[in-house]
Amino acid sequence: MIIVIIAGGSGTRLWPLSTNNYPKHLLKITDKNSLLQNTYDRASRLASDIYVISEASHIEHVYQQLPELPRQNIIVEPGRRGTASCIIAALAKIKQHHDDQEPVVFMHADHHIRDIFSFTESLVLAAESSQIHQKIVLLGLVPTRAETGFGYIQRGDYANGDHVFDVVNFKEKPDKSTAQSYLDSGNYLWNMGYFVAPLAVFEQRIKTHAPHLWENYQKLLAAEHQEAHDQHYLLFPNEPIDTALIEQVPDLLVVPGSFDWMDVGSYKDMHEVNEVNDSGNTVSGNVLTEKLTNSFVRNETDTPVGVIGLDNVAVVVTADGILVTNKSHSQEVGTIAKKIQGSDS
Distance CA 120, CA 45 (A): 8
- Inter-residue contact 78 to 234 (CB < 8 Å): yes
Q: Which of 262, 282, 304 is the last residue of a domain?
A: 262
Pair 67, 93 in one domain: yes
Domain final residue, candidates 202, 228, 262: 262
pLDDT of 8 reads 82
d(CA 231, CA 219): 10
Q: Is the pLDDT of residue 7 over 60?
A: yes
Specify whether 205 is located in the same domain as 326: no
User: Which string of DSSP letters, residue by residue, matches 178-245?
Assistant: HHHHHHHHS-EEEEEEEEEEEHHHHHHHHHHH-HHHHHHHHHHHH--SHHHHHHHHTTS----HHHHT
Residue type (1 letter), 158: Y
User: Measured between alpha carbons, how far is 115 from 214 in angstroms, rounded to an integer?
Assistant: 36
pTM confidence score: 0.91
Q: Which domain-ending residue is among 262, 277, 312?
A: 262
Residues 113 and 210 in one domain: yes
Domain identity same for 97 and 197: yes
Interval 81-85 mean pLDDT: 95
Identify whether residues 35 and 171 lie together within a single domain.
yes
Domain housing 295: 267-341
Write the pLDDT tens digit of every residue in 169-191: 998 889 999 999 999 999 999 99
Residue 227 has pLDDT above 90, yes or no: yes
Average pLDDT over all residues of the chain: 93
Judge if 256 and 283 occupy the same domain. Answer: no
Q: Are residues 197 and 289 in the same domain?
A: no
Could you write out the three-class secondary structure of 13-45? CCCCCCECCECHHHCCCCCCCCHHHHHHHHHHC
Query: What's the CATH number where 257 sits?
Result: 3.90.550.10
Q: Quick check: 246 pLDDT over 60? A: yes
145 and 88 housed in the same domain: yes
Where on the phi/psi map is residue 342: left (φ > 0), alpha (ψ -120 to 50), or beta? left
- Shared domain check, 253 and 187: yes
Give how many domains the chain has, as a whole number.
Answer: 2
Mean pLDDT of 18-28: 90
